[in-house]
Amino acid sequence: MSVAKKQYKRVTTKSLVDMKNNGEKISMLTAYDFTMAKIVDGAGIDVILVGDSASNVMAGHETTLPITLDQMIYHASSVVRAIERALVVVDLPFGSYQSDPKEALRSAIRIMKESGGHSVKVEGGKEIKESIKRILNAGIPVMGHLGLTPQSIYKFGTYTVRAKEDKEAEQLKEDAKMLERAGCFALVLEKVPAALAKEVAESLTIPVIGIGAGNGVDGQVLVTHDMLGMTHEFNPRFLRRYLNMYEDMTNAFKKYAADVKAVDFPNDKEQY
Ligand code: KIV
């Protein structure tokens, strides 16, 4: 089905609900720095996620747990400086919102004030309901995140597909409803069966954005470095690579090294 796209000069939380209502799918990608954010925004991607996946991608940690609130603010403020159109969502990092609602609000306020981001994302369902409400009461838009929630990786023990069993699927559906009732403007569903994700998307009025959740949802998100093929050792089934930048960059670096060694770079035209 082809959908006539409405032009959004600036994407807001309301635009995303409009897109869902108009049957227009939402595109979302990660960015953690100015240069990448400028390219992603210029390409017309609707939502830029300053994900705590920066912990893996930018800092080389094994999990998302080590990244701090200060580091997220640094990444987010670099991204915000590049943006002209996209909605910027910033992950609240592990440990900055789980302990109590007041701390959650303080962390969200720091993100909004110090980075200029437009909204925050939190992982989890009923266990963080009070924190979500407290943040929303301060007028800060919140995106939820259910299914595979990488901040809980040590509880799950594995990165495999979530909610395959009925009990977990029922809990996920309840949590999704709760997030909508609480006032979240959208929800990420990560690595859950496509049929379940479709059912959740159809049962909610807020947009559901999937990663490894099939195409029955309202939009898709990928980690930019993965879809560009820069992180070649990460190969989940849901990942489509649009470039093979690992290979292209390696070849460029090798060529540069060879040119330097051969005193071919710089040439006469490349000097003063
Ligand atoms: O941190 C991140 O990049 C994310 C996406 C995988 C949704 O949360």
To test the pocket of ligand 1, the residue of 28, 29, 30, 123 to mutate (highest count of ligand atoms within 8 Å of its CB) is 30
For the Cβ of 52 lying below 6 angstroms from any atom of ligand 1, the answer is yes
Query: What pLDDT sits at residue 3?
Result: 56
Contacts of 18 (CB under 8 A, 6+ apart): 6
**Residues forming beta bridges with residue 221, ordered by sequence position:** 28
Does the annotation list 53 as a binding residue?
Answer: yes
CA distance 181 to 183: 5
CA distance 265 to 230: 26
Return the residue matching tokens 């910033």: 90
Does the annotation list 123 as a binding residue?
Answer: yes
CA 218 to chain centre: 15
Domains of the chain (ranges; CATH) run 13-241 (3.20.20.60), 244-272 (no CATH)
**Distance of CA 51 from the midpoint of ligand 1 (Å):** 5
Among 190, 233, 247, 270, the active-site one is 190
Contacts of 182 (CB under 8 A, 6+ apart): 129, 132, 133, 136, 142
Return the residue matching tokens 């009070």: 130
What's the whole-model pTM score?
A: 0.96
Active-site residue 130, yes or no? no
| DSSP track, 130-149 | HHHHHHHHTT--EEEEEES-
Q: Any idea what DSSP says for residue 24?
A: P
Q: Burial letters for 22-31: b for 16+ Cβ neighbours within 10 Å, e otherwise?
A: eebbbbbbbb
For the Cβ of 149 lying below 6 angstroms from any atom of ligand 1, the answer is no
pLDDT in tens, the chain (272 residues): 555 578 899 999 999 999 999 999 999 999 999 999 999 999 999 999 999 999 999 999 999 999 999 999 999 999 999 999 999 999 999 999 999 999 999 999 999 999 999 999 999 999 999 999 999 999 999 999 999 999 999 999 999 999 999 999 999 999 999 999 999 999 999 999 999 999 999 999 999 999 999 999 999 999 999 999 999 888 999 999 999 999 999 999 999 999 999 999 999 999 99
For the Cβ of 175 lying below 6 angstroms from any atom of ligand 1, the answer is no
Contacts of 40 (CB under 8 A, 6+ apart): 29, 31, 48, 86, 224
**Distance of CA 150 from the midpoint of ligand 1 (Å):** 8
Cis omega (within 30 of 0) for bond into 266:
yes
Task: For residue range 141-153, list pLDDT tens digits in order.
Answer: 999 999 999 999 9
